[in-house]
């Protein structure tokens, strides 16, 4: 009887943990050093966004959304891992954005770049092979890199 109770308790805990989404927010100082990391746990059904922001698969939930601050800008990159397209949102700061986005393979080869940075940027990954890539985002004098996984 005790073994059956422990089995169902473990099963319930596994189901509860798998129905959550984790979002990480990072804060940086003026020199670019990470000073704070916050992990926010959100139930998967409540991780929805407005009509202007849909996931790459077309549904209303954002799988593996990554958000961080870069100077006065709020950067959101999703989905990661990605299969067909990668979406980069740049919120805050000035209305006119000056910067670019570059995607590199791990051997340093430039795969694609977007020279005119906008509030919502999309990179088509369908022509790339599976593996890891480095995304470099430059806004004004600020620059940061992100690890992107192509499934």
Q: Return the pLDDT at 38.
A: 66
The domain that holds 65 is classified in CATH as 2.60.40.10
- pLDDT at position 6 is 53
**Tokens 């004004």, residue located:** 140
Segments in the chain below pLDDT 50: 11-19, 43-61
Q: Is the pTM of this model over 0.85?
A: no
Residue 64: domain span? 2-150
From the number of C-beta atoms within 10 Å of its C-beta (0-12, 13-18, 19+), residue 127 rates as exposed
In this predicted structure, what is the pLDDT of residue 96? 77
Q: How far apart are CA 97 and CA 95, in angstroms?
A: 6
Q: What is the pLDDT of residue 109?
A: 95
pLDDT of residue 67: 81
Give the whole-angstrom CA distance, residue 29 versus residue 10: 42
Number of folded domains in the chain?
Answer: 1
């Amino acid at each position: 009887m005790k073994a059956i109770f422990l089995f169902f308790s473990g099963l319930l805990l596994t189901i509860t943990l798998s129905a959550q989404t984790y979002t990480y927010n990072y804060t940086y100082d003026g020199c670019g050093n990470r000073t704070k990391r916050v992990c926010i746990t959100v139930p998967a059904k409540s991780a929805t966004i407005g009509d202007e922001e849909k996931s790459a698969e077309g549904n209303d939930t954002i799988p593996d959304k990554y958000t961080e601050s870069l100077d006065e800008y709020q950067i959101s990159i999703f989905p990661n891992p990605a299969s067909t397209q990668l979406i980069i949102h740049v919120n805050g700061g000035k209305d006119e954005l000056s910067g670019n986005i570059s995607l590199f393979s791990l051997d340093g080869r430039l795969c694609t770049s977007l020279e005119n940075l906008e509030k919502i940027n999309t990179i088509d990954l369908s022509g790339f092979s599976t593996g890891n890539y480095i995304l470099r985002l430059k806004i004004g004098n600020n620059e940061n890199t992100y690890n992107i996984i192509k499934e």
